[in-house]
Amino acid sequence: MNRNMRRCVGIGLIAIALAMTACARKETLKVGIENNFRPFTYTENGENKGFEVELWDAVAKKAGIKYELVPMDQGELTKALKSGKVDLVVAGMTVNKARKDNLAFSDPYFQTGLVLLTKQDNTDIRGKEDLKGKTVATEIGSTAYTYVGGLGTPKEIKGYPNIDQAYEALAAGQVDCVIFDERNAQDYVQKRGKGKIKIVGETLNKESYAFAASKKSKHLGAINSAIEQVVKNGTYESLYAKWFGGKPQKLPGQ
């Protein structure tokens, strides 16, 4: 190779490298959210809202990530991650062993658990010990669905693609109870289910939410340090106060 050719090849390589960097910078992540997981991620009148929608936006800004939100049902989210339709899921995704076999998670940022709901006038269900022969409703694809399956005692488990259908079935007396995520259940009981539905007994287990990605994702390092930063600079606490009122018992990472 003569000097001129070497120079040409060199310039060519630099051009390719620059183009690749520009491409990487311009990459827009597709972020799957659940369309009805209040007050974390939901779509109302075409607008995406919720604690996690705002938390994610703060995290993405700190991490320098551009993104667009793709709302869908809970049952679609994991499939969308696996098929590459979305790059990340922000939807109150509970971290558990089965999911960790297939997906990668960020550091957890929300502690919670499952609760039991009945009709306001129900007197015979006070805890999970009272579910023998009962019909329990929940959302397909959720950790609550797996939890109810593991109880063994209910007569029937009814899985709905959207948790509101489970709450509505309960209000209409078609099922005896619902098991689902505590904060979503509280939101329903305080608003649309007010006076009709109640939460009974203790929280049934401990779960924590994290952002989920494919095992190949290269973004989780930047996302984790951005989570740490939005906790340190007070953004997490102010979003918590806005969406839940008060202060979290523990901040993420504590």
Q: How far is the CB of 80 from ligand GLN (least distance, A)?
A: 13
CA dist., res. 180 & res. 185, Å (int): 7
Written as one letter, the residue type at 32 is G
CA 4 vs CA 10, 16, 89, 155, 242: distances in Å: 10, 18, 50, 80, 63
- What's the gap between Cα 160 and its chain centre? 17
Q: How far is the CB of 37 from ligand GLN (least distance, A)?
A: 4
Strand pairing category for 177-181 and 212-214: unpaired
142 contributes a contact to ligand GLN by CB under 6 A: yes
Site residues (CB under 6 A) for ligand GLN, limited to 79-108: 91-94
Q: 117 pairs with which residues across the strands? A: 178, 199
Count CA atoms within 13 Å of residue 170 on its CB side: 36
Cβ(86)–Cβ(70) below 8 Å: yes
By three-state DSSP, how is residue 219 classified?
coil
Cα 49-89-217 angle, rounded to 5 deg:
140
For 228, phi and psi rounded to 5 degrees? -60, -40
Q: How far is the CB of 19 from ligand GLN (least distance, A)?
A: 38
Q: How far is the CB of 203 from ligand GLN (least distance, A)?
A: 13
Site residues (CB under 6 A) for ligand GLN, limited to 212-241: none
State which residue, 50 or 62, has the beta carbon closest to ligand GLN: 50
Q: How far is the CB of 148 from ligand GLN (least distance, A)?
A: 12
Binding mask 23-52 for ligand GLN (x = CB under 6 A): -----------x--x---------------
State which residue, 37 or 167, has the beta carbon closest to ligand GLN: 37
Find the binder of ligand GLN among 78, 143, 224, 235 (CB under 6 A).
143
Per CB under 6 A, which region of 118-126, 135-143, 152-160, 242-250 contacts ligand GLN? 135-143
Written as one letter, the residue type at 102 is N
Tokens 């000097």 appear where? Answer: 3
139 contributes a contact to ligand GLN by CB under 6 A: yes
State which residue, 74 or 235, has the beta carbon closest to ligand GLN: 74
By three-state DSSP, how is residue 70 classified?
strand
State which residue, 39 or 92, has the beta carbon closest to ligand GLN: 92
Binding mask 174-203 for ligand GLN (x = CB under 6 A): -------x----------------------
Residues that bind ligand GLN (CB under 6 A): 34, 37, 74, 91-94, 139, 142-143, 181
